[in-house]
Every structure is written in structure tokens, then in C-alpha cells.
């Protein structure tokens, strides 16, 4: 008798997983294991071998950055733009629309707000999704920090790009509509809006290919090695819980990355 065939289960990944892997693959592994603790409180499964050799940089190559458009000031909303989605798990998102222009898509409201892409095995929740005047959908990732001069030199903003590319794909898959670009909104309220800004991140063929390769690379990585460095470890949440034996610096708080990059403002 033939043995029953089993279909390999694709490891579900989130935009946040891509961001942590891009910083340090072991951070991603620890974050997920911490999130999926056993009933007895033990950490979930960790791939990283005991005697892994730490890396100097994450093995994931950067997404395409050549066509980003960096804008200072307020987001360019028009009277015809409407809000069709808001992450129900976030309570500190900015109010960008008057009530009459908030029209949530009931398929993705409340407890159903996690978007899924069965083809690529992605799941997650963007902060906001705007339907623009031409009918296109645009995910918006909100950051409380400010947009600063020298965007392209500040590799911290690459993490935001990684996240938005994955969110563009999620929105396209879940809503079944083409997504031309995503937005990172830097919403620092200080200075009467003078420090606000937003970046438009195109979602074209180059970004789609990058995402597919990145997801495959993450799933095939049997080690998920640590990348110990002050810039990584100071803001690493598993490090805050004392979970990493490779840490190169003490945990400094969730905004450590932001502080680090802010200090590079010119």
C-alpha cells in the first residue's frame, strides 16, 4: 500500500518577521518562539543551532530603493480619498479622515482585520489602508518618529521599506486589487507639523520579485544566525527578556532604533 502523501506546510510569515530577519535572523527566531510558548511556558521551537557562528550582517539583501519618493509635510490626501481599513489592534493611530470619509470594508473589520495571502504564506495587519480617488488601494504604515534629512543614508528607514513592500502584497492578495505603492507616514507632531513627512514606496515588479526571494530565503535558512551589534541588540525585544546569549549590547528600550537614527540627523 502506498504511503499517504503529505503536503509540506509553508511557514506563515508576517511583515514584522521580514523586518526582524532583515535586522537579525536570530531575533526573528526568538520573537516567534517567544510568541508561541508551550503551555508550560517553555519557548517554542528554535532552529538556531547551539554553536552557530554569528554573522556581521543579515544575509537578506535590501529591497529596491531607487524609486522611493520622500516628501516633507502633511500627507497629500484629497477630498476623494477614503479610509477603508484600520488595524483594530492599534489604538494610537492618527486621525486622518473626517467620519464621513471613514468607510471600513466589512470583510476586514474588527476581529477579521488580519489580512492573509495564502499563495505566499503571508499574514499581517497594516496600520491603515486608503482608497485613493482613482480607486487604488494604498497601505499606510505609521511611525511616530519624524522624517529627517538624509533619508537614503539612514539604513534604519530600510526596515520601514521592507515592511511596506510586504504590506502592499498582503493588501493586493486580500482585497484582490492592484496596489501601486505603499506609504510610510512619519507623524511627529512636534513643531506644528514641520517635522512630518511621508515616503512613497512603489510596489512594482522589482519589489514583488524581491519579496518572493526574501520569503524563500527566510524559510530555507536552517540557522537563523544572530547578528550581534549595538545597533541591533539595543532595540531587540527578546534581548529585553534575556533570551539571547549572543547579545552585543544591553537592551535600551523599544525606541532605541529610532534614537540611534535620529542621532544621525544632519
Binding residues for ligand SF4 (CB under 6 A): 24, 26-27, 30, 226-228, 232-233, 236, 238-239, 244, 246-247
Chain centroid to Cα 157, Å, comes to 11
Shortest CA distance to 197 belongs to which of 71, 94, 77?
Answer: 71
Q: Measured from the CB atom, is 200 or 224 closer to ligand SF4? A: 224
Output the smallest distance, CB 56 to ligand SF4, in A: 11
β partners of residue 24: none
Output the smallest distance, CB 231 to ligand SF4, in A: 9
- Nearest-10 crossing angle of helices 25-35, 15-23: 140
Strands 137-143 and 181-186: parallel
Q: Measured from the CB atom, is 96 or 243 closer to ligand SF4? A: 243
Q: Measured from the CB atom, is 28 or 84 closer to ligand SF4? A: 28
Q: Tell me the residue ranges of DSSP E strands in 38-143.
A: 69-72, 82-86, 115-117, 122-124, 128-131, 137-143
User: What counts of helices (H) and strands (E) characterise the chain?
Assistant: 7, 8
Output the smallest distance, CB 204 to ligand SF4, in A: 31
In terms of C-beta distances under 8 Å and separation of at least 24 residues, what long-range contacts does 248-257 make, across chains too?
255/145, 257/156, 257/159, 257/231
Output the smallest distance, CB 170 to ligand SF4, in A: 25
Q: Measured from the CB atom, is 162 or 236 closer to ligand SF4? A: 236
Q: How many residues does the chain have?
A: 266
Q: Measured from the CB atom, is 37 or 177 closer to ligand SF4? A: 37
Q: Measured from the CB atom, is 183 or 225 closer to ligand SF4? A: 225
Amino acid at each position: 500500500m502506498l504511503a499517504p502523501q503529505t503536503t509540506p506546510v509553508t511557514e506563515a510569515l508576517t511583515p514584522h518577521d521580514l523586518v526582524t530577519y532583515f535586522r537579525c535572523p536570530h531575533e526573528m527566531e526568538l520573537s516567534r518562539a517567544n510568541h508561541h510558548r508551550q503551555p508550560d511556558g517553555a519557548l517554542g521551537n528554535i532552529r538556531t543551532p547551539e554553536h552557530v557562528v554569528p554573522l556581521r550582517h543579515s544575509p537578506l539583501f535590501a529591497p529596491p530603493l531607487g524609486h522611493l519618493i520622500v516628501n516633507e509635510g502633511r500627507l497629500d490626501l484629497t477630498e476623494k480619498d477614503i479610509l477603508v481599513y484600520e488595524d483594530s489592534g492599534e489604538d494610537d493611530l492618527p486621525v486622518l479622515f473626517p467620519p464621513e470619509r471613514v468607510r471600513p470594508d466589512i470583510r476586514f473589520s474588527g476581529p477579521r482585520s488580519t489580512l492573509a495571502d495564502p499563495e505566499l504564506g503571508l499574514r499581517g495587519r497594516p496600520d491603515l489602508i486608503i482608497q485613493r480617488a482613482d480607486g487604488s488601494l494604498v497601505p499606510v504604515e505609521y511611525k511616530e518618529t519624524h522624517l529627517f534629512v538624509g533619508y537614503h543614508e539612514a539604513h534604519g528607514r530600510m526596515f520601514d521599506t521592507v515592511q511596506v513592500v510586504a504590506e502592499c502584497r498582503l493588501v493586493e492578495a486580500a482585497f484582490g486589487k492592484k496596489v501601486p505603492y505603499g506609504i510610510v507616514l512619519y507623524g511627529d507632531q512636534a513643531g506644528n507639523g514641520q517635522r512630518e513627512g511621508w515616503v512613497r514606496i512603489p510596489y512594482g515588479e522589482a519589489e514583488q520579485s524581491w519579496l518572493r526571494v526574501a520569503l524563500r530565503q527566510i524559510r530555507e535558512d536552517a540557522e537563523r544566525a544572530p547578528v550581534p551589534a549595538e545597533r541591533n541588540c539595543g532595540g531587540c525585544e527578546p534581548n529585553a527578556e534575556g533570551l539571547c546569549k549572543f547579545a552585543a549590547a544591553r537592551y535600551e528600550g523599544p525606541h532605541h532604533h529610532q534614537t540611534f537614527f535620529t542621532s544621525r540627523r544632519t
